[in-house]
Amino acid sequence: MPDIVKAGDPVLHEPAREVDQKEIRSERIQKIIDDMVKAMRMSPGVGLAAPQIGIPLRIIVLEDTAEYIGYAPKDETKAQDRRPFDLLVIVNPKLKKKSNRTAFFFEGCLSLYFGSMMDIFAKSGYVLTPIHHKREGGNKRIDITTGRMRHYKRAYEEQGNAGGVAQGLKGAKGKSLAGFALLVDGFRAIVERNLDVEVTGLSRDGQLIKVDASGWQARILQHECDHLEGTLYVDKMVPRTFRTVENLDLPLAEGCPKLGSR
């Protein structure tokens, strides 16, 4: 499993190269795509660009599930217009803004985390297995990176264990890792994004595809396409809004925009 490349690595700060259409169905490119999907899901996150695993090619993957969204507050996901969508793989994407409508919301990135779940467990020698919880009678995977840490902590506490969110994670000798997952943390900043975009490109089979997106999906597409230009969200963030996840709800500085659409 490839590591997530962290901010400062040159591959994240330089434009990526287009993939030759004749090479898309090659074993090499297909393996890169498979590795990207695995890395995105195991980190876990809702989007990933090839430069984030150290490969300077114009490929993005994204996916947001009802399972993920279910762990964020309903009023927040409603304001963000965040709706589930199936896995998308786009090679050589080209993004076009479809309206002048924009929104201000906090954004994060796997490349600006203290450590992804995958990174931490790889270095610890523990074996990473799927994270699940029983909530309202069903199994739920905890999504560390697409919401706020305290919500996942609260979800776990509702199950009668305040130790952490790592049920289902066990070491090589079966040792419980409850509480360890809460060490994973990162940063956020407010970014203004367009609410309506169109992305064209090629599928992993080399077929032409077009995605019309709005709301949170449009934000994810813009975030990932920025990676292909060597741009991180901190390069576009609203000044004085950068903060740690644990301080996410502290008051914004005077003059900062309110969250929401414009």
Q: Provide the annotated active-site residues.
A: 224
Tokens 């523990």 label which residue? 126
Q: What are phi and psi of 89, to 5 degrees?
A: -120, 120
Radius of gyration, CA atoms only, the chain: 18
Strand bridging mode 187-194 / 196-202:
unpaired
Residue 221, SS3 per DSSP: helix
Which of 18, 73, 86, 75 is closest to 46 using CA atoms? 86
Which of 6, 13, 4 is closest to 227 using CA atoms? 13
ω into residue 84 within 30 of 0, thus cis? no
